[in-house]
Amino acid sequence: HKGKGVHSPDGEHLWLDLRHLGEQHLRTKLREVYDICMYFLGVNPITELVPVRPTQHYSMGGIRVNKDGHAYSLKGLWSVGESACWDMHGMNRLGGNSLAETVVAGMFCGQRMGQWASGQSLELDTKLASEAVAAQQDRVNNLLGKGVGKANENVHELLNTMQETLQAKAGIFRKGKELKEAVGTLRDLHKRSQNLKLQSSFKGANPELALALRLPGMIKLALCVAKGALLRTESRGGHSREDYPERNDKEWLKRTLARWPKGAKEPEISYEPVGLLESPPGHRGYGGAVNIPMKQSVEKYNKTVKQEWIKQGWHETATPLGAELKEMVEYASTKES
């Protein structure tokens, strides 16, 4: 809605008018919406306009894992569900898919994680963990004491600037100029987040402290998202570039990977093939509705997948790459015949 919304103390919003549907319809067919409006908002949708604004209900992308749920590069780190970047749903998250993914991944990856863990020894060097705990304890002590770095930045101010920047410049519809500005602001916020000073030094449940501990990581993640979006000069899935409306399979049939080396000022972005293809991605008919087809043959593309993934830290999987795809294709062809 970028500046075109209705201003309110909770931020800009649009009005949703459901009054034409009438009481009977709202109280029966849309009962859930009716209840949410009545009990959470104190607004009666039968007679009143409903204020609405966008909110995030899923994070696409996540810890890049192989099909077993095993994270790239780091042996022993596993991830499923919303925190993972798995292969089940490609580049978008359609309604209902994420709960399906948690159920399927929980079973499928859980079994593989169990198999892997049963082959490991429980003897380990705890020095690294102790050092990490001590570093966090120092950080907490400093935050509750004199502050960190130059100790001149307010946690809430940085959080608000980050949120406003993402909402205005890295939202559903993006363009290069705004993404560039967002990257600039987030780089600056990342630097400033090293200089936090709290208003409250309370040692118990202290929301300001909890936020201060999370904020640098939140800003880093925001910068990964904005930088990846700036570099991706096409539209795909949930990434709609107003300046590049077409889905460009010729140049962008690849996944963005972001790494943040220790001490670096910003993330390193690299790319890998999306996975084994059965056929070239088809025309979808929504969004920009224009796509630039891939030039390479599917066979040639598929040949590069495994070696490119290994370069990025992919671990060998319990069943060979493409085994499930092959099974599915065979199953589908027996059904057809």
- Of 62 and 288, which has the nearer Cβ to ligand FAD? 62
285: left (phi over 0), alpha (psi -120 to 50) or beta: left
CB of 219 to ligand FAD, least distance (A): 18
CB of 94 to ligand FAD, least distance (A): 9
Cβ(208)–Cβ(214) below 8 Å: no
Work out the end-to-end distance of the chain between its first and last CA atoms, rounded to an integer number of angstroms: 50
CB of 303 to ligand FAD, least distance (A): 33
Looking at the chain, list the stretches that DSSP marks H as alpha helix, in order from N- to C-terminal side.
22-28, 31-35, 97-118, 127-144, 155-169, 176-192, 207-231, 249-252, 298-311, 323-336
- The CA-CA-CA angle for residues 93, 255, 233, to 5°, reads 95
- Of 184 and 217, which has the nearer Cβ to ligand FAD? 217
Residue 96 interacting with ligand FAD (CB under 6 A): yes
Strand 254-259, strand 268-273: pairing: antiparallel
Binding region for ligand FAD (CB under 6 A) out of 98-106, 109-117, 294-302, 317-325? 98-106
Residue 98 interacting with ligand FAD (CB under 6 A): yes
Both tokens assigned to 17: 């008018």
Residue 7 interacting with ligand FAD (CB under 6 A): no
Residue 32 interacting with ligand FAD (CB under 6 A): no
Q: Which of these, 285, 193, 267, lies nearest to 231 by C-alpha position?
A: 267
- Of 82 and 131, which has the nearer Cβ to ligand FAD? 82
Q: Which of these, 101, 73, 96, 74, lies nearest to 86 by C-alpha position?
A: 101
CB of 89 to ligand FAD, least distance (A): 10
Q: Cβ of 219: how many Cβ atoms within 10 Å?
A: 24
- Of 172 and 336, which has the nearer Cβ to ligand FAD? 172
Burial 302-314 (b: 16+ CB within 10 A, else e): beebbeebeebbb
- The CA-CA-CA angle for residues 218, 220, 225, to 5°, reads 95
CB of 79 to ligand FAD, least distance (A): 9
Kindly write out the interface string for residues 53-82 of this chain, putting x where it contacts ligand FAD by CB under 6 A and - elsewhere.
----xx----------------------xx
- Of 83 and 194, which has the nearer Cβ to ligand FAD? 83
- Of 213 and 276, which has the nearer Cβ to ligand FAD? 213
Type of residue found at 311: K
- Of 64 and 192, which has the nearer Cβ to ligand FAD? 64
Q: How far, rounded to the nearest angstrom, does the alpha carbon of residue 212 sit from its chain's CA centroid?
A: 21
10 Å CB burial of residue 252 (0-12, 13-18, 19+) is buried
CB of 185 to ligand FAD, least distance (A): 25
Among 6, 41, 77, 99, interactor with ligand FAD by CB under 6 A: 99
The 8-class DSSP code of residue 149 comes to T
CB of 187 to ligand FAD, least distance (A): 27
| Angle (deg, nearest 10), helices 207-231 and 176-192 | 150
- Of 88 and 264, which has the nearer Cβ to ligand FAD? 88
CB of 302 to ligand FAD, least distance (A): 30
- Of 36 and 318, which has the nearer Cβ to ligand FAD? 36
Kindly write out the interface string for residues 150-189 of this chain, putting x where it contacts ligand FAD by CB under 6 A and - elsewhere.
----------------------------------------
Residue closest to ligand FAD when measured from CB atoms? 81
In the complex, the residues that contact ligand FAD under the rule CB under 6 A are 57-58, 81-83, 95-99, 102
